[in-house]
Chain A
Amino acid sequence: MPTALTGAMACEVIKLRSLRSTWITTLIAVAFGLALSLMDVAHTANAWPHMTTADRAQFDPVGDSLSGFAFAVLAFGVLGVLGISSEYTTGLIRSTLTATPRRTLSYTAKTLVIGGFALLLGELTAFTSFFIGQAVLAKQHLDVGLGTPGVLRAVSCAGLYLFVVTVVGYGLGAVIRHTAGAIAALFALVYLGYGAAKAVEGWSALPSKLMLSNAADTLGQLHPHPLHPERTPSLSFALFDLALYLALALTCGAWRFTRDAA
């Protein structure tokens, strides 16, 4: 059914797939995440017979099979940033807004397309990484199935985390309207924020519990057995974190998007 929204979404789909940077960033995000995760589980599977009990206690069949995404997540964020910041840096935004002058319509269309793509890509790579990891771990009979309690939650939440970081990048791109600036802000939020929150733990553990990376640790592992329980959010707190970042990114992005573009 052709409506204004489907038209605007079709435009966003064409824009997304007609750029080489989309494909390169996607490839890097997926390949990097899968490769690092695979190396991690392959090492564990090989070293297992010689590992100490303490080391074995740290092993997480799900979390380890997804560990590469702690780094590859940045590529997802960059995908989100580029999806909107490049419109401003290139000047394309003037064409976009001339074709779809209703700001809420164009923002909704763009958000649905980029968010939908990130969610699909995030879940797809999380499940792929999980299954590859389990195939490797099966050699030592360390693998788990999706039916094991907590496994489905951990894998799907790992994909959800990739989606949320993409949307956070998207929101930053919308607010900052500048690719390099938005990527720097994303990097600060995801990585440097972790260290900053750790530094103030003497006063309050709340900032640490609000960190995206700590939320991802809780959500993406089978048995959250944190080394530092004081800085690790509970499962429900971590889900709240994701929802909070999602809502903040989309709201700030929407607010800025409806302001005039230079």
Chain B
Amino acid sequence: MKRPARPGIVMDVIRCEHLTKRFGRKVAVDDLTFEVQPARVTGYLGPNGAGKSTTIRAVLGLDTPDAGRALVDGVPYRQAEQPLRRVGALLDAGAVHPGRTARAHLAALAATNHIRRSRIEEVLALTGLADVAQRRIGTYSLGMKQRLGIAAALLGDPPVLIFDEPANGLDPEGIRWIRSLMRSLAGEGRTVLVSSHLMSEMALTVDHLLVIGRGRLLADVPITDFIPAGASLEDAYLNLTESAVEYRTEGTGH
């Protein structure tokens, strides 16, 4: 899928410029500026409520920013011609109608971007759903729904992929599979952005880290620079975000 490069625009880059999003008086994303580069897996980390999902929704044009902008290939997502062929996203496993079969769900999405029908069977096989594709999604387990969301993200064979907590509900085999999937997608030169709370998983998967807390950018570094010698990703992460945690549980402090 080679596209002519437009002058001055880096292809396959997700770019947020002073992105700000408020919900009432709550500032969910606060003046965020960063770029996500191709050919590597970028981990998007931050405590609960830090603004990761909100950023991703803004990139996908689902939330309108109050200030700043989010761009893919230099244009807002809402202006994309065939967006599924540019960006594939797993937001949450719930963006489906439980009454529909997985095959019908994917067929509906594929139709919008004129994606060939055989691609549906490919992503169903790839995500291990081929045998249950004719079942209503309402009968699926959480992990199966998660796989369907990943299948939908891969549908357009896009050069840019965004996964919001992809390991949610996946079994150990599934977690290993999504890890190697993300590694191979980045290996093919694609841009991969993944949010997760599983530090040991992230340590095995990502090349680069974006860390946010309370909507603000705390770190934008290669993972090798982020972890001090002898420490784990979890240690480094908890150190950095200590002051930015909003929903702290009691009695588990160290």
Contact = CB atoms under 8 A, between A and B. Distances in A.
Interface of A: 2, 4, 7-8, 10-15, 18-21, 86-87, 90-95, 97-103, 260-261
Contacts of A2: 114
A19 B60 contact: no
Contacts of A10: 111-112
A11 B112 contact: yes
Contact of B100 (A4, A18, A101): A18
A64 to B, nearest CB: 37
B63 interface: yes
Contacts of A87: 97
B101 A18 contact: yes
A262 to B, nearest CB: 9
Given A18-B105, A19-B100, A91-B94, 4 more contacts: A7-B114, A15-B100, A19-B99, A100-B83
Contacts of B108: 11-12, 14-15, 18
Contacts of A97: 60-62
Contact of A101 (B61, B97, B111): B61
Secondary structure of the A contact surface, majority rule: helix
Contact of B96 (A4, A8, A91): A91
Interface string B57-80: 100111110000000000001111
Interface residues of B, number: 35
Contacts of B152: 95
Contacts of B84: 98-99
Given A7-B112, A8-B112, A95-B152, A260 B101 contact: no
B31 interface: no
A95 B84 CA distance: 10
B68 to A, nearest CB: 16
B16 interface: no
Max chain B C-beta neighbours (<10 A), residue from A20, A97, A101, A102: A101
Given A101-B77, A101-B78, A90 B98 contact: yes
A95 B61 contact: no
A36 B226 CA distance: 73
A99 B104 contact: no
